Copies of this chain bind each other. A is one copy, B any other.
């Protein structure tokens, strides 16, 4: 369990502060994360990595010469917000574009994707490589659905070594994708970890059992068995990974691989070495040549008891890049000449507190948006328990608490924005960031996406008309479906959002005034949310749990319909 913290709310911020104090020679803090404190070659690609905190050395411990240029640090096990990603990228950018790399999780895909769009809009080329090394998380036919675990390191290292060697962004993307498709990992878990201040572990594995393929945040695995001997575990992991030799490699015999044996937190070094002994023998027996293996803690989950094995199938170029020197706080290799310290005044560090100028009409509209957010906060406050109960049937029961955390933060951010005369667009952007930051999880990400879509549509100049709002809501719907990859009928919030958005557009087009049109849309959303009870659940990462939700409305769809109903009152008062 996690024992040492102050106020759990500040855990990540305080850990970051301590990390930067201990490693000032290599990293410095910027809003949203850390970047190198040493100078990089101008006009080289910047590699920015990131994800939730709690996985040290991933991600901040992997920033330094020869490795990443920056790391975006979300809350514990929660994606960073798009704004955080954007901030770190702006500060890390060396003029030749940014490669974003992170483990393939829904929230990260959403937020890094949004940040990428914004960077490109601002003229900074940006590409994404989401790491998909965990063979247990989806079949080979759905390889793009796999999540990223310890194989993160191989992709980050290759991308960074290529950037350091002066590769163009296109070339960095090419070798990073090659590394991604040639990296395969498989993990096991013996027990979960406890978030600071939490009463119980994030998940449990029954005593004496081992969960095979269970994810680093407790996502379901593929089987459960008795804890095996160290040798038997080595045999299990090696045999699974040798069943899936990546395309382009004829046979294991003669192939060159790097090997990562990773401890998740409380499976310790001596145990890992006992397992590695047998891994080394087995890979040798299979005819593989092992190149610069790593045995230790590379991607952890606080003090989770677990381990994973990664095979990284090399070619000549990847081997050269893998062996290139690096000097990050938690990963060092070879020898390199120390770069001089960076001059912070030369960095493009976004002023996250600045409020851009806005028109009077937009400032007035911002006040109405703030009232809508207040109404939203009230309705969520009243329904926290009910939303939690709905979510507990098929999920982890935190939908109510997550929504509450998000909307409280959004309301506070909006209040501050109003006091500083922000326009509607800026107020919504700040509220979106606050919601996504504080809520964490996928629902936080989705509400961040929706408020951001409204923000972009409304801007800080024009007076928003009903058509503006409807168009912003349509964009929110499209962005959620694009970023979140959810379709109508998947039993998610999309099932209420689509009829809401379409009814609103239709009614306005038919000549209804805003209040009437909104009321019709609210009814459509409420009916659709109830109807999700009849839908077959989306069988995603939580298949066994999702099946339990038959007969229960989707909590995300329910909370959406509650919120739009509450906003009716604000519209009617205009």
A: residues with CB less than 8 A from B are 2-6, 11-12, 14-19, 21-22, 53-54, 56-57, 61, 190, 196, 227, 229-231, 233, 261, 265-278, 280, 293-297, 300, 302-303, 305, 307, 330, 332, 335-338
Complex: how many Å from CA A5 to CA B296?
16
Cβ contact within 8 Å between A4 and B267: yes
| Of the residues B274, B297, B335, contact of A4 by C-beta under 8 Å | B274
Cβ contact within 8 Å between B2 and A268: yes
* With known contacts A266-B265, A266-B303, A280–B18 Cβ distance under 8 A: yes
Note all chain B residues with C-beta closer than 8 A to A22. Answer: 261, 273, 276, 280, 293-295
Complex: how many Å from CA A335 to CA B65?
13
Complex: how many Å from CA A235 to CA B183?
45
Cβ contact within 8 Å between B266 and A266: yes
Q: What are 15 residue pairs bridging A and B, where the CB atoms are less than 8 Å apart in the complex? A: A4-B230, A4-B233, A4-B275, A5-B274, A11-B270, A11-B274, A15-B269, A18-B277, A19-B273, A19-B276, A54-B270, A266-B303, A268-B300, A268-B302, A296-B330
| Of the residues B12, B18, B265, contact of A268 by C-beta under 8 Å | B265
* With known contacts A14-B277, A18-B276, A22-B293, A3–B271 Cβ distance under 8 A: yes
A295 to nearest B CB, angstroms? 4
Cβ contact within 8 Å between B6 and A230: yes
Complex: how many Å from CA A435 to CA B273?
26
Note all chain B residues with C-beta closer than 8 A to A6. Answer: 229-231, 274
* With known contacts A18-B274, A265-B268, A268-B265, A4–B307 Cβ distance under 8 A: yes
Complex: how many Å from CA A176 to CA B278?
39
Complex: how many Å from CA A530 to CA B272?
47
Note all chain B residues with C-beta closer than 8 A to A266. Answer: 265-266, 303
Complex: how many Å from CA A14 to CA B54?
31
Q: Nearest 9 CB-CB pairs, A to B?
A: A18-B277, A18-B273, A56-B269, A4-B271, A18-B276, A266-B266, A15-B273, A335-B335, A15-B270
Cβ contact within 8 Å between B338 and A295: no
Complex: how many Å from CA A61 to CA B270?
11
Complex: how many Å from CA A280 to CA B23?
12
Complex: how many Å from CA A337 to CA B335?
7
Cβ contact within 8 Å between A270 and B227: no
Complex: how many Å from CA A266 to CA B3?
10
Complex: how many Å from CA A305 to CA B1?
9
Note all chain B residues with C-beta closer than 8 A to A337. Answer: 335
Complex: how many Å from CA A162 to CA B276?
34
Note all chain B residues with C-beta closer than 8 A to A293. Answer: 22
A263 to nearest B CB, angstroms? 10
Cβ contact within 8 Å between B4 and A302: no
Complex: how many Å from CA A423 to CA B337?
58
Residue of B nearest to A331 (CB): B332
| Of the residues B14, B18, B300, B338, contact of A335 by C-beta under 8 Å | B338
| Of the residues B61, B265, B280, B332, contact of A21 by C-beta under 8 Å | B280
* With known contacts A22-B276, A276-B22, A280-B22, A3–B190 Cβ distance under 8 A: yes
A156 to nearest B CB, angstroms? 17
Note all chain B residues with C-beta closer than 8 A to A335. Answer: 335-338
Complex: how many Å from CA A267 to CA B194?
12
Complex: how many Å from CA A297 to CA B165?
32
A287 to nearest B CB, angstroms? 16
Complex: how many Å from CA A57 to CA B297?
12
Cβ contact within 8 Å between A269 and B300: yes
Complex: how many Å from CA A196 to CA B274?
11
Complex: how many Å from CA A2 to CA B4?
22
A556 to nearest B CB, angstroms? 30
Complex: how many Å from CA A15 to CA B276?
8
Complex: how many Å from CA A307 to CA B336?
32
A490 to nearest B CB, angstroms? 34
Note all chain B residues with C-beta closer than 8 A to A54. Answer: 270
| Of the residues B2, B230, B267, contact of A271 by C-beta under 8 Å | B2
Cβ contact within 8 Å between B307 and A21: no
| Of the residues B227, B270, B273, B280, contact of A302 by C-beta under 8 Å | B270
- Besides the contacts A4-B267, A6-B230, A12-B270, what 10 more A-B pairs have beta carbons closer than 8 Å? A3-B190, A4-B229, A4-B274, A6-B274, A15-B271, A15-B273, A18-B276, A18-B278, A53-B270, A296-B330
* With known contacts A335-B336, A337-B335, A57–B270 Cβ distance under 8 A: no
Residue of B nearest to A293 (CB): B22
A280 to nearest B CB, angstroms? 4
Note all chain B residues with C-beta closer than 8 A to A272. Answer: 4, 18
Residue of B nearest to A269 (CB): B56
Note all chain B residues with C-beta closer than 8 A to A277. Answer: 14-15, 17-18, 21
